[in-house]
Amino acid sequence: MTTNHDRAEIGVIGGSGLYELLPDAREVAVSTPYGEPSDPLVLADVDGRRVAFLPRHGRDHRHPPHRINYRANLWALRSIGVRQVLAPCAVGSLRNDLRPGTFVLPDQLVDRTDGRVGTFFDVGAVHVPFADPYCPAGRTALRATCGDLGLAVVDGGTMVVVQGPRFSTRAESQWYGRQGWSMINMTGQPEATLARELALCYTPIALVTDLDAGIDARSAVSQDHVFAVFASNVKVLRTLLVAAVPALPARRRCPCIHAHDGITLPFALPE
């Protein structure tokens, strides 16, 4: 059971490098009806806002993308008061103009995962709207923060989420690109869907780490390269997220809060 001291209003789902330098960070263990989250939550104050950080893969990267307990992660965040989630992630580029080191604010999503548990609602007729998967207020805050920091960001793009843990074949990569999709990732689903089912504001910020296999004859993704590019940009990403936290609205007025309008939920959500 959490106390008021264990509450937070904003969640950041990302690696441990995003919070390890915050001086007052403290761990909070949270259990959920869906099992344990990827790691204990780490709470810290960022410019007067209480933030819960959660490494989606675990701080030692022990959870591969298809084995992450996405339901426990999102439920744990909501149960301590989180209503807005920032979700930094690594992506491969499906376009020649999106080079490694580029930051992107996706605005659309295509789900190509298979076999992941993608809903909290196993009984009843519960169909949440998902036409626009990401929070418009969160995207506005991140876009404005990038401008304030002088950080170039590509505004918009479709992220296709694949099952993993393998990377794509050249034929798959070329097919994804022909659909007009911009970037490829392994963790964005069902994370975004589950956030919407909990009426959370969910906003990804994508860092391009590589050119996917089908971009040209030379490109072939490797884990070492992906990890190296992400690590080299973690300081910039940390600066961006810390600056974006106070830019998020203190009171939500976005469509995300209406996700349950007209729906009878089969169980009570944590407050």
pTM to 2 decimal places: 0.93
DSSP state of 61: T
Residue 53 counted as domain residue: yes
Structural domain contains residue 218:
yes
Catalytic residues: 210, 212
Q: Is residue 22 part of a domain?
A: yes
| Domain region containing 91 | 4-251
What confidence tens digit (pLDDT) does each residue in 214-228 have? 676 666 666 777 777
Q: How far apart, in whole angstroms, are the C-alpha atoms of residue 57 and residue 224?
A: 16
Strand partners, 44: 51
Please give the pLDDT value at position 210. 87
Band (pLDDT 50/70/90 cuts) for residue 18 is confident
Residue 132 within any structural domain of the chain:
yes
Is residue 270 assigned to a domain? no
Residue 113 maps to which CATH number?
A: 3.40.50.1580
- Whether 260 maps to a domain, the answer reads no
Domain total in the chain: 1
In a domain, residue 271? The reply is no
- Strand partners for 159: 109, 183
Characterize 3-36 residue by residue with b for buried, 16 or more Cβ atoms within 10 angstroms of its Cβ, and e for exposed: eeebebbbbbbbbbebbeebeeeeebebebebee
Q: Is 133 exposed, middle or buried (0-12, 13-18, 19+ CB in 10 A)?
A: buried
What average pLDDT does the segment 3-22 reach? Answer: 80
pLDDT at 230: 72
17 Cβ neighbours under 8 A, 6+ residues apart: 231, 234, 238
Helix (H, G, I), strand (E, B) or coil at 256: helix
pLDDT tens-place string over residues 77-132? 999 999 999 999 999 999 999 999 999 999 999 999 999 999 999 988 899 999 99
> What is the structure's pLDDT at 183?
97
Inside any domain, residue 262: no
